[in-house]
Amino acid sequence: MLWTYLPIKAAHILCVILWLACLAGDLWMLAYARDRRVLESWKDSGSALGHGALLGVWCFGLLLFTQGGWQHSRWMRLKLLLVLALSGVHGTAAARLRRRVETDVEEVAGSLPGWVVTLTVVIVTLVVNKPW
């Protein structure tokens, strides 16, 4: 089990880092980018990369969930709920970015960066401490 668990864990962590970097890029573009070509380029490449990374997070994460035997752990259930919420924040950021590119309406990041930081800190704390 160890020889398959560790590579899956590494792939999961890499996908998480890539996903959060792309999410930060989406939020940065919403906050600071003014050039339409830059926004279109990011929407086409950065967001696509972020969506692929999100898919990897969920696929590798669910593999770890089943291999680790955490189906009955309360901390893991809470973590899954928080990752689902963070996925929703990603979807909201991507939709705002897409609307901004397509309609020239000024979409703002709003409170999304705060949610990203808060949810990420709580998720990492749960993973490291495994409290229940």
Question: Which among 57, 118, 128, 52 has a CA at the least distance from the CA of 82?
Answer: 118
- Specify whether the CB–CB gap between 39 and 101 falls below 8 A: yes
Instruction: Give the list of residues 6+ apart from residue 33 with CB closer than 8 angstroms, or none.
Output: 39, 42
pLDDT in tens, 8-21: 999 999 999 999 99
Find tokens 């939709």 and name the residue: 95
Q: Judge whether residue 75 has pLDDT over 90.
A: yes
pLDDT given for residue 1 in this prediction: 61
* Three-state secondary-structure class, residue 5: helix
Helix (H) or strand (E) holding 51: helix 36-68
Distance, CA of 28 to CA of 110 (rounded, Å): 11
How is residue 95 written in tokens? 């939709």
> Residue-wise over 38-57: b if at least 16 C-beta within 10 A, else e?
ebeebbeebbebbeebbebb
| 105 confidence band (pLDDT: 50, 70, 90) | confident
pTM for this entry:
0.89
Helix (H) or strand (E) holding 96: helix 74-103
